[in-house]
Amino acid sequence: DVNLLGGCSTAAVIGTYKVARDFMAAIWQVSDPLLFVVYPELAKLWTRREFPALRRFLRNAVLGLSLAAVVLFGVAFIVVPPTIVLSLSEEFAAGGSVFRWMIWCVLVWMPLLWVNPLLMAAGRANLFFRATLVASATTLLFDLLLIPQFGAHGAAFAYAAGVLASPLAGIYLARSAGI
């Protein structure tokens, strides 16, 4: 994304995009501990073949993760843009808008946080790998299509689309494999 952006825009645009992407990395740091809670429980329930309990866990996880996603999205949407200006300078104010083009993916991704851990718990790392390839291809495709015309905002949308592609592809692949 940054390399393509570099060929189509100025250093200032690249800088604001990188700032927005760095703030997204901070958002993922908030969600990472949830993976450490979800994966072991999925692995335990899967290996014990406790599928009704697994379904209940997933249902509760989706509800809880959805609520967390809404809260995280709302707080980040409001707090991050002024934080960018306060911490860096007014020159990076556009980074807040670019960040907002990225953060929407949290609303879909976080409730699906369980998908890739479930593939791993089921012993289907190959499906997780394929879902990751789909995500990478999606990001690259959207980067190529959107960056030349929309610059940093196009890169931000491509980033978000790539984030969503992995769990959505994972769900499709899991269902196709009978998981």
Question: CA–CA separation, 139 vs 144, rounded Å?
Answer: 9
Looking at residue 5, what is its pLDDT?
Answer: 78
Using 50, 70 and 90 to split pLDDT, how confident is the model at 6? Answer: confident
Q: How confident is the model at residue 10 (pLDDT cuts 50, 70, 90)?
A: confident
Q: Is 177 helix (H, G, I), strand (E, B) or coil?
A: coil
Read off the pLDDT band of 13 (50, 70, 90). Answer: confident
- What average pLDDT does the structure give for the chain? 91
Query: What average pLDDT does range 90-115 have in this prediction?
Result: 92
141 pLDDT more than 90: yes
